[in-house]
Amino acid sequence: MKRTRIIDIFNTTELVGTKVCVKGWVRTRRGNKQVQFIALNDGSTIKNIQIVVDTQKIDADQLKDITTGSCLHVEGTLVESQGQGQNVEIQCEEIEIYGLCPNDYPMQKKGQTFEYMRKHAHMRLRTNTFGAVFRIRHHMAMAIHTYFHEHGFFYFHTPLITASDCEGAGNMFQVTTKNLYDLKKDDNGKIIYDDDFFGQQTSLTVSGQLEGELGATALGAIYTFGPTFRAENSNTPRHLAEFWMVEPEVAFLGQEGLMDLEEDFIKYCVKWALDHCKDDLEFLNKMIDNTLIDRLEGVLKETFVRLPYTKGIEILQDAIKKGVKFEFPCNWGDDLASEHERYLVEEHFKKPVIMTDYPSKIKAFYMKQNEATPSGGSIGYQHTEAPEPTMQGTDVLFPQIGEIIGGSVREENYDKLLSEIEKRDIPMKDMWWYLDTRKYGTCPHAGFGLGFERLILFVTGMANIRDVIPFPRTPNNADF
C-alpha cells in the first residue's frame, strides 16, 4: 500500500474514513492491556499522528518491544479522534517493525540539554526541536532562491577552492596534496608550492564576493549561496568554522538602493517563515522563546533605522555617561561588539538598524570611500563630522543577533582600489584579475553578505549557532 506522509493527513479531510499507510518513528507509547496509543512522526511535520492499537487484534509480544525511537510501518483506518490534542487518528490494523530501539538510544530521555544533544548530532535530528529547526532552514533556503529569482538575479556558483583572501584576514583553511612531512622550501624557509596540485598556495574560500563581482559586471545582478570557511579559533555561540553565505552583487546600485535591497530581502524571508512554517514556529515559540513570533512580526511592521556609524558612537557614549555598562570600548574607530549593536537595536531604537559609513581602517579594502561627510540618514540624523575617512558600508543589525548582514558599495575606480590594496600590503599577484573589472568597463556596483545560520538563529529563536546547522564544524570538532 502506498505511504501517505503525516503532513498530508493533517492538510486534507478527504482521507477520513479511508485506509492509510504511514511510516515513521515512535515519539511515545502509552496505554493499558486493552488499548495502546503510539505517537508516530515521519519528519514531514511537527505534529504526530496517534495510532490506536487494539491489543486483541495486534500481537502483544510485538507491541511490548516498541519504544521511543522505534521505526514502524502502520496500516489502518483514518478516523476522527475522540480524544483531545488531535483531530484525527489511525485505528491500527497492521504493524510492521522496521527497527527497534534499545534502551541506550541517546534521545530517549526527556529534557536533554542542547550541549548533550550536540554530542549526538546524528540522532538529535529526530527530536521535535531539531525537526522544527531544519524544516525552517529548508524553507529559508527556498525563500532566498525564490526572492532572487523573482527579482531578476542569476544564481552564480563561485569556487570553494581559491588563491585569494577576500577579507584579508588570513584565517583560511589550506588545501594541499603535499606531503606535510617533507615540504619543499626556499632559502628563507618559505614553502614552495610549484609541485602542489594547483601549482600555488590555495585555501577554502571565506567568501564568494570577489568572484561574485565579476558575475555582476557581466550579468547585472547575481547571488551566491553556498558554504564558506573561516579558520578562526572562535568558541562562541555566534561562530562556526564552516557556514553558509548568501551574497548578492548588483551592478549600477548605490548606497541607498543597497539598503533598500537589504531591508526588502530580509523582510521577505521573515514573511516567508511566518507564512510557511506556522506549526514549527508555534512549537518553538512555546518551547524555546515565547517572544519569537512577536519579534518576527515586529520586523515586518518596522522601517529599519538608517544610522551613521559616527552617530551610533555618540549614542553609545551617551549611554555610558548615563550608567550603561559595556564590556568592550566603543570609541570612534572601534569595531563595534555584539553588545553595542544589540544595545542600539534592542534598547535605544527597539527596531532593526542599518549602520552606515564606517571608519575605513576597520573595513575591507574593496569598500568605496566617502569623498566627504555624507548627507543625513533617512531617520533625520545629520552626520557629525567624522575625524577620519569613512567607507560606504551598510550593516544590518538585528535583535538577539547583532550583525546579520554586512554590505557595502564597492570601489569601482581602478586607481583608488589599487591604492587601497597597496596600502594594506595585499599581494598583487592574487588581485590582478579583480582589478581587471575596474580596468575594462568599470561600473558602480554594490552587494552584501548574509550569514545563513544567523538568519536561522533569528527565525527560530535558538541561542547557539551550532544548533541551526545539522553538523557543526568548530575548533576541535569535526565529528559526523
Q: Is residue 178 part of a domain?
A: no
- Where among 70, 90, 105 does a domain terminate? 105
For residues 333 and 362, the answer to whether their CB atoms sit within 8 Å is yes
Q: H or E element: which one contains 264?
A: helix 255-276
Same domain, 409 and 371: yes
pLDDT per residue as tens digits for the range 332-377: 999 999 999 999 999 999 999 999 999 999 999 999 999 865 444 4
pLDDT at residue 168, as a whole number: 57
Same domain, 385 and 450: yes
Q: Is residue 47 part of a domain?
A: yes
For residues 187 and 171, the answer to whether their CB atoms sit within 8 Å is no
Same domain, 135 and 63: no
Same domain, 65 and 133: no
Where would I find the beta strands (DSSP E) of 252-299?
none
Q: Is residue 34 part of a domain?
A: yes
CATH number for position 274 = 3.30.930.10
**Plot region of 333 (φ>0 → left; ψ -120 to 50 → alpha; else → beta):** left
pLDDT at residue 111, as a whole number: 79
For residues 397 and 355, the answer to whether their CB atoms sit within 8 Å is yes
Same domain, 325 and 385: yes
pLDDT per residue as tens digits for the range 310-323: 999 999 999 999 99
* pTM higher than 0.85: yes
Question: Phi first, then psi: what are they for 288, rounded to 5°?
Answer: -115, -50
Residue among 422, 427, 410, 426 nearest 213 (CA) = 410
pLDDT at residue 377, as a whole number: 44
pLDDT per residue as tens digits for the range 141-197: 999 999 999 999 999 999 999 988 766 555 899 999 999 999 999 999 999 999 999
Same domain, 321 and 463: yes
Same domain, 270 and 388: yes
**Residue 305: beta bridge partners?**
353
For residues 220 and 251, the answer to whether their CB atoms sit within 8 Å is yes
**Residue 250: beta bridge partners?**
221, 446
Q: Which residue has the cell 603535499?
A: 178
Q: Domain total for the chain?
A: 2
Q: Is residue 1 part of a domain?
A: no
Same domain, 101 and 140: no
Q: Is residue 184 part of a domain?
A: no
- Show the 3-state SS of 391-447: EEEEEEEECCCEEEEEEEEECCCHHHHHHHHHHCCCCHHHCHHHHHHHHCCCCCEEE
Same domain, 53 and 161: no
CATH number for position 27 = 2.40.50.140
Given a cut of 80, whether residue 384 has pLDDT beyond it is no
Same domain, 94 and 224: no
**Structural domain for 17, as ranges:** 6-105
Q: Is residue 110 part of a domain?
A: no
**Residue 37: beta bridge partners?**
30, 52
Q: Is residue 149 part of a domain?
A: yes
Average pLDDT over residues 445-459: 97
Q: Name residues whose C-beta falls within 8 Å of residue 37's C-beta, 6 or more positions apart in sequence.
A: 29, 30, 31, 50, 51, 52, 53
pLDDT per residue as tens digits for the range 94-136: 999 999 999 889 987 777 899 999 999 999 999 999 999 999 9
Written as one letter, the residue type at 69 is G
Same domain, 339 and 423: yes
pLDDT per residue as tens digits for the range 11-22: 998 999 999 999
- Where among 105, 139, 161 does a domain terminate? 105
**Plot region of 189 (φ>0 → left; ψ -120 to 50 → alpha; else → beta):** left
- Where among 50, 71, 105 does a domain terminate? 105
Helices and strands: H and E segment counts in the chain: 14, 16
Q: Is residue 194 part of a domain?
A: no
Same domain, 383 and 238: yes
